[in-house]
Structure 1
């Protein structure tokens, strides 16, 4: 089964609403399917966060991960410091994982949902 992350644009309250709904389902004894969602406040924040360079980084990792940040920077022909900064941010967001000094994409699919 594909590991899917839903990337959404919306208010912070949306995440709280999802938490409350999940809490209520568990309290009622119903089964809870895992929901993996990253919500960003607005489209400009999404575009600043998931830049073309960061997306290319994730694509490169997906094709040959896990790898070290140094090897990734070499493969992308980018400065190590900039790649390290991007990797750190993507780890904070849960888009990539770091284990034993290597990084890898955490997801098979990233599905974006943009609402008005």
Structure 2
């Protein structure tokens, strides 16, 4: 099963991870997609967009029409959400124009700290 982790991580923290991987030769084995803030994560992965990604998980290449059918939404709204997910790099487009999310499982990882 191929899992991706969506997480909130500052740019500095992401660069620290790259530096550690470079120095040790050991990189994180689980693919990760990082967002700089919770707000950005929530903007990109809104509940309806997360529903799209979940419907695409493990399904292989899908047309936008098929995605709309799976999430039981109209084509126009799904098209707009798929375009945003595509532009953000969360999903990709195949050479035949179908959309793909090449993971079977999604893990979301973030922390909320107390206000200062």
Smaller-chain TM-score range?
0.7 to 0.9
1:1-116 matches, cutoff 5 A: 2-26=1-25, 32=27, 34-62=29-57, 64-99=59-94, 100-115=96-111, 116=113
What's the TM-score once normalised by structure 2's chain length?
0.75
Larger strand proportion of the pair: 1
The root-mean-square deviation of aligned C-alpha atoms, in Å, is 2.3
Larger helix proportion of the pair: 1
Per the TM alignment, residue 64 of structure 1 is displaced from its structure 2 partner at its CA by 4.5
Residue 66 of structure 1 aligns to a residue whose secondary structure is coil
Q: 1:111 to 1:63 in 2, by over 3 A?
A: closer
Q: Distance in 1 between matches of 2:98 and 2:15?
A: 33
Worse overlay, 82-91 or 72-81: 72-81
